Chains A and B, each alone.
Chain A
């Protein structure tokens, strides 16, 4: 039986994405237990340097101008052939805007079992298992990853990405790109995010609002609080989808990752897509009337006070504290 673990390395704009190191850390644990090897797989153009700090036993490169930009159909074609040819024990993708759709497509195409939202992989005597979190991070699901090959879409949080980095460059090998027929999907252009007036990824103080804010008019009290704190307002997905705040203020999987000194989360439940982007905050204080909200599993401090009662009072206290300091 093949014991090798394939990791599909994600990268964008010439940089390896953080999730890739999380996946490599997971792969290393599995490979050590199974006595297999970790194989990092990179697709792109001019990507040889991207493999330099990957904690892999081998990096396979598909380096070709036709792979300069991500296309789901091209990835399905190349990875489908590779997996069929080598039959690895498991293939780890990021549960991201690219990895999730390629993993699911391959599961259907190759008739291989897949699991998404995978947080940890467990290794038994002869078996591999998964632990996934679904339903907004409230429910944990466990089960076996069947052999010969299982596909995993992994979320961050279960492994330390530092264990996926290596000081010494791993050996690498260039693989030939299989024949590609005319593809139905083409990239036209990349549009870089507009940071507008603020770049929340650099902010030291963030006041974040979620669905609990209820409507756009209520943003006023939050803006006042942020102003009193000398910080910026940001939001989770539902607030941006409603058009109440611009996408430049979005924190989460498809928005910005933030690392402030303090992240004040108001009416945010703590869905995995949001939580994965705030883990580097120094301190998180969560305000949510639902005592079971998953945000309290991540936050250092919390309260179930109603944000509409608390926020105006908190703003007053902060203003008072500032004026006392000046005096």
Chain B
């Protein structure tokens, strides 16, 4: 089975997000990029399938800061093939553009199964999975947290609101949006990542032009203005605890 995982880098929300002077995008100088955590789950799910029944796992990432580190980390976890997409992916690039470009390239790799994170926190024009599926003419199921193969078909568990899970059967090839792998993404020691750097080559694929049509245009981007902010309790732990106890008393809980 040939599994392709498509991953992306997203702004690290631990850092401050600053809007650029043009007011239509984030200031790239301030962004620290990190792998989208749902994509980490997609990589983990692919590795689990490989360990269970054998598969070749290819991880594809657009070239952004930190992309190579993310690829080597995937190799240390068990990915067989690493591909970096070369192109202008920061700035105005969107999921429509990435999906369209991948839709042209990925059929070359003859995938049986394509996995990607169900969403990224900076998605504004839909998530990558359903767009990619449509550009490739394949079925898509998102919010997947559980995967099995049976008679050449995928049996997946799709999460719905309220904790209801739908077990669905999908003909392959298909694209799945992973909400959570069956186990938390594994930790790999840096020594293993360093070893992967020596033993696994990163292939490069050029995306000469990104077609960003299909997303609604951005005319203004800004920090969310807080409406009524919480009343803040300051001071040492004793003082803050007293204030919270007062709230609990007022509610009749204490």
Structural contact, A253 and B161, CB atoms closer than 8 A: yes
Bound-state Cα–Cα, A256 to B160, Å: 10
Cβ–Cβ contact A191 & B157, under 8 A: yes
Checking B131, B157, B169, B241 against A186 with a beta-carbon cut-off of 8 angstroms, the contacting residue is: B169
Q: Find chain A residues with CB under 8 A from B230 CB.
A: 284, 286, 296-302
Q: Min CB distance, A101 to chain B, in Å?
A: 4
Contact assessment for B223 and A139 in the assembled complex, using a CB-CB cutoff below 8 Å: yes
User: Given A101-B142, A146-B216, are A256 and B184 also a contact pair (CB < 8 Å)?
Assistant: no
Query: Closest residue of chain A to B142, judged by CB?
Result: A101
Is there an interface contact between A302 and B233, defined as CB atoms closer than 8 Å? Answer: yes
Q: Does B174 reach chain A (CB closer than 8 Å)? A: yes
Q: Does A214 contact B (CB under 8 A)?
A: no
Interface presence of B115 (CB below 8 A): no
Interface size band for B: 35 or more
Q: How many residue pairs, one in A and one in B, have C-beta atoms under 8 Å apart?
A: 292
Of B170, B214, B217, B247, which contacts A143 at CB under 8 A? Answer: B217
What residue in chain B is nearest A264 (Cβ atoms)? B244
Residue B222 at the chain A interface, CB threshold 8 Å: yes
User: Is B162 an interface residue, CB under 8 A from the partner?
Assistant: yes
Q: Chain A, interface size: which category?
A: 35 or more
Contact A185-B161, Cβ < 8 Å, known A141-B221, A241-B180, A313-B238:
no
Asked if B254 and A318 make an inter-chain contact with CB atoms under 8 angstroms apart, the answer reads yes
Q: How far is the CA of A230 from the CA of B197 in the complex (A)?
A: 52
Bound together, the chains give a CA A131 to CA B119 distance in angstroms of 19
A161 within 8 A of B: no
Binary CB contact string for chain B from 213 to 254 against chain A (1 if under 8 A, 0 otherwise): 111111111111111111111100110111111011101111
**If A108-B134, A142-B218, A317-B241 touch, does A72 touch B140 (CB 8 Å cutoff)?**
yes
User: Complex formed: what's the CA distance from A303 to B17 in Å?
Assistant: 22
Chain B residue with the shortest CB-CB distance to A115 = B216
Provide the B186-224 mask, 1 if CB < 8 A to any CB of A, else 0.
Answer: 000000000000000000000000000111111111111
Task: A97-B161, A296-B229 are known; give 12 further A-B pairs, CB within 8 A.
Answer: A72-B130, A101-B140, A105-B131, A115-B215, A129-B219, A140-B223, A143-B220, A189-B167, A193-B163, A241-B41, A300-B231, A310-B241
